[in-house]
Amino acid sequence: MSLHGTLDSFPLADVLRFLAGAQRSGVLQVDGDRGTVRLWLEDGECTGAECGGSVVDDAVPATVEALRFVGGTFSFDEAGTTPRRLHSRPLSVVLAEALDLRAEWDSIELVLPSTRHRVRPVPTPPDGRAVLDPLGWRLVTSLGRSDDVGSVVARSGVGELDAARALVALVRDGLLVVESPGAPVAQAAEVVPGDTADPVVPSVVVAADPFVEAQERFPIDDLLDSPASFDALVDPPANDRAPVASSAADAVTAFSPDAASAVAEVVASGGAPAPTPGDTPGSDPAFR
């Protein structure tokens, strides 16, 4: 006996329940928007499976894939030989496990509606830190500015379900943001040659006082053993300054006897002292 129909008219889960209850033998082929799945049955037991043209080792993932078809057709033919026999499992058990995983996919698709949706990392973790398992770390570090879910899953190196679980966990932890397929991808600002816009220049404080500027460039206070400040060295207190001559007489006492005599003569005559015999230009006693 052969069965044919559309998934819109006969849900696949109902078809599988019928074949399991009737303990039928043959091959069930499901063609849908995601590809083709085949299940081989013997007396209501699943003995082989094929998904996307490849024979698989477990019938459950293949059945989940068929259950995820949005639309398509199915056909059951009693003729056919299992290409590679698996460990036989009752079709009813395979269906029960597949339905549980299909329910998990429903919850995943609430977060990641399709493989065309995009995910991008947030600038900073919600609490300033994040704890990631190896798969989560690999997914986050492989992301560009914005990647579609299908590309991320393909690069993950794990199965679609495991990668989708990890992405959903990252979204719920606030580390990834999901965007619609048509969302513009954020691009870095591009510098165009000949752009007349004024560049943003960091503000710089310039000291007008040269001594303040010198202090800014050379922190001399850190090199001194004493606590004296830079200002004290530039402009020392009055009691630390060298004494200043208060009169011409006090200034004269600071010279040598010959220089003092010459200065006294200048002050008394109101002019330069008369040269003495033998003096030569540049031999003024005041500069000896």
Q: What's the burial of 125, exposed, middle or buried (CB within 10 Å: 0-12/13-18/19+)? A: middle
What pLDDT sits at residue 121? 87
pLDDT, one tens digit per residue, over 70-92 is 889 999 998 766 777 778 899 99
What is the model's pLDDT at position 254?
52
Q: Which residue, 133, 66, 126, is CA-closest to 102?
A: 66
What integer pLDDT is reported at residue 288 of this predicted model? Answer: 38
Asked if pLDDT for residue 243 goes beyond 80, the answer is no
List the domain boundaries for the chain.
3-110, 112-179, 242-274
Rounded alpha-carbon distances, angstroms, from residue 285 to 30, 196, 256, 262, 263:
123, 71, 10, 8, 10
Q: How confident is the model at residue 257 (pLDDT cuts 50, 70, 90)?
A: low
**In degrees rounded to 5, what are phi and psi of residue 120?**
-140, 150
- Per-residue pLDDT for 40 more than 80? yes
pLDDT tens, position by position, 141-164: 888 766 889 888 888 888 889 999
Q: 119: helix, coil or strand?
A: strand
**Is residue 270 predicted with pLDDT exceeding 90?**
no
The mean pLDDT value of the chain amounts to: 73
- Does this model's pTM top 0.75? no
Q: Which of 32-36, 51-55, 168-172, 218-222 has the lowest mean pLDDT?
A: 218-222
Q: Which two tokens stand for residue 107?
A: 């919850």
